[in-house]
Structure formats: C-alpha cells, structure tokens
Amino acid sequence: MLYLVRMDVRLPADMPPAQAAEIKSREKAYSQSLQRDGRWPHLWRVAGEYANYSVFDVEGHDELHELLSSLPLFPYMDIDVTPLARHPSAIA
C-alpha cells in the first residue's frame, strides 16, 4: 500500500544542540535504511519549513505505524497520513 505522509518536526527550543544532533544522526541512518530497502521511496523537504512529504510503500497500516513510531524524531513530530489509491486516469 502507498501512503503520503507529511512530517512536521518540532524540537524543543531548550534541547541541547548535542542531543539534537545525535537524534538527527540516528534519524538519517534509519530513514536511509528504509529508503534503500524500498519502503520509503520518496522523501521531499518542504521549502522553508522543518517538514517533509514522503511516500511509503508498505504492506499496510500496521507496518506504517511501526516504521513511523520507530523514527528517532517521532516524539517531536506532527504526522499526517493519507492512504493512496490508483487514480483511474493515471497512465502507469
């Protein structure tokens, strides 16, 4: 199943920079492993915001929830999930 996911990151203003850097490093490694295995085929930054739009290709809702809740930045995110279905006018 395909999902369009918007993630807005809201790190606490008083978070020590070293802690923020460590979390971001773990986030990058985890997200890149999911991209490499094909479950996170698209990752796009929202210009001017600490946010992204991503497309996930997973078995279903439970797998998506597990992947998202395992993100190191998950506790600091607002997430909006939209399940996607093939459009009848799409050529591919």
- H helix runs in the chain, sequence order: 17-36, 61-69
Q: How far apart are the first and last CA of the chain?
A: 16
Annotation: CATH topology of 2-84: Alpha-Beta Plaits (3.30.70)
Structure confidence at residue 14 (pLDDT) = 98
pTM of the model: 0.93
* Averaged pLDDT, 24-30: 98
Q: Which two tokens stand for residue 39?
A: 């479950």
Per-residue pLDDT tens digits for 40-61: 999 999 999 999 999 999 999 9
- Residue 46 DSSP code: P
Residue 7 has pLDDT above 90, yes or no: yes
Structure confidence at residue 17 (pLDDT) = 98
Structure confidence at residue 92 (pLDDT) = 79
Q: Which two tokens stand for residue 58?
A: 């997973």
